[in-house]
Amino acid sequence: MEKIKMTTPLVEMDGDEMTRILWRMIKDELLMPYIDLKTEYYDLGLEHRNETGDQVTMDSAEATKKYGVAVKCATITPNAARMTEYNLKEMWKSPNGTIRAALDGTVFRAPIVVKGIEPCVRNWEKPITLARHAYGDVYKNTEIKVPGPGKAELVFTAKDGTQIKETIHNFTGSGILQGIHNTDESITSFAKACFNFALDTKQDLWFATKDTISKKYDHNFKDIFQEIYDESYKEKFEAAGIEYFYTLIDDAVARVMKAKGGFIWACKNYDGDVMSDMVSSAFGSLAMMTSVLVSPSGVYEYEAAHGTVQKHYYKHLKGEETSTNSVATIFAWTGALRKRGELDGIEALMTFADKLEKATVRTIEAGKMTKDLALITSLADVTVLNSEGFIKAVRETFESL
Ligand code: NAP
Ligand code: MG
Listed in sequence order, the residues at least 6 apart from 270 whose beta carbon sits closer than 8 Å to its beta carbon are: 137, 138, 139
Question: Using an 8 Å Cβ cutoff, are 137 and 321 in contact?
Answer: no
The strand pair at 175-179 and 142-146 is best described as antiparallel
Total residues belonging to the chain: 401
Nearest Cα to Cα of residue 114 among 381, 393, 338, 362: 362
Question: Using an 8 Å Cβ cutoff, are 109 and 129 in contact?
Answer: yes
pLDDT in tens, 303-322: 998 999 999 999 999 999 99
What is the reported pLDDT for 280? 84
Atom number, ligand 1, closest to the C-alpha of residue 328: 18
Residue 24 has pLDDT above 90, yes or no: yes
What is the reported pLDDT for 240? 97
The CATH number of the structural domain formed by 1-114+297-401 is: 3.40.718.10
What is the reported pLDDT for 49? 98
Residue 1 has pLDDT above 80, yes or no: no
Give the pLDDT band of residue 5 (cuts 50, 70, 90). very high
The reply to whether ligand 1 has any atom less than 6 angstroms from the CB of 76 is yes
The reply to whether ligand 1 has any atom less than 6 angstroms from the CB of 330 is no
Element (H, E) at 175: strand 175-179
**Single-letter residue type at 318:** K
The CATH number of the structural domain formed by 118-140+182-283 is: 3.40.718.10
What is the reported pLDDT for 276? 86
The reply to whether ligand 1 has any atom less than 6 angstroms from the CB of 281 is no
Which residues in the chain are classed under CATH 3.40.718.10? 1-114+297-401, 118-140+182-283
Nearest Cα to Cα of residue 305 among 108, 46, 84, 94: 108
DSSP letter for each residue of 46-94:
HHHHHHTTTHHHHHHHHHHHHHSEEEE-------HHHHHHTT-SS-PPP
Query: Listing from the earlier edge strand, what are the strands of the sheet with 10-14?
Result: 39-43, 10-14, 69-72, 300-304, 289-294, 106-111, 128-132, 263-267, 204-209, 244-248
Give the pLDDT band of residue 25 (cuts 50, 70, 90). very high
Atom number, ligand 1, closest to the C-alpha of residue 310: 28
The reply to whether ligand 1 has any atom less than 6 angstroms from the CB of 203 is no
pLDDT in tens, 136-174: 898 888 999 999 999 999 999 999 999 999 999 999 999
pLDDT in tens, 321-379: 999 999 999 999 999 999 999 999 999 999 999 999 999 999 999 999 999 999 999 99
What is the residue with the minimal CA distance to atom 37 of ligand 1?
307
What is the reported pLDDT for 349? 98
What is the reported pLDDT for 273? 85
| Long-range contacts of 89-96, Cβ-Cβ distance < 8 Å, separation of 24 or more | 89/50, 89/53, 90/50, 90/53, 90/54, 92/46, 92/49, 92/50, 92/54, 92/57, 93/54, 95/13, 95/44, 95/49, 95/57, 96/293, 96/303
The reply to whether ligand 1 has any atom less than 6 angstroms from the CB of 97 is no
Residue 105 has pLDDT above 90, yes or no: no
pLDDT in tens, 46-84: 999 999 999 999 999 999 999 999 999 999 999 999 999
Read off the pLDDT of each residue in 284-297 and give the average, rounded to a whole number.
87
Q: How far, in Å, is the centroid of ligand 1 from the Cα of 289? A: 12
What is the reported pLDDT for 87? 96
Read off the pLDDT of each residue in 277-289 and give the average, rounded to a whole number.
86
Q: How far, in Å, is the centroid of ligand 1 from the Cα of 324? A: 10
The reply to whether ligand 1 has any atom less than 6 angstroms from the CB of 75 is yes
The reply to whether ligand 1 has any atom less than 6 angstroms from the CB of 309 is yes
pLDDT in tens, 234-271: 999 999 999 999 999 999 999 999 999 999 999 999 99
pLDDT in tens, 174-206: 999 999 999 999 999 999 999 999 999 999 999
Cα–Cα dist 100/198, whole Å: 20
Cα–Cα dist 76/94, whole Å: 8
**Chain Cα centroid distance, residue 360:** 20
Best substitution site from 108, 309, 326, 377 to test ligand 1's pocket, by max atoms within 8 Å of Cβ? 309
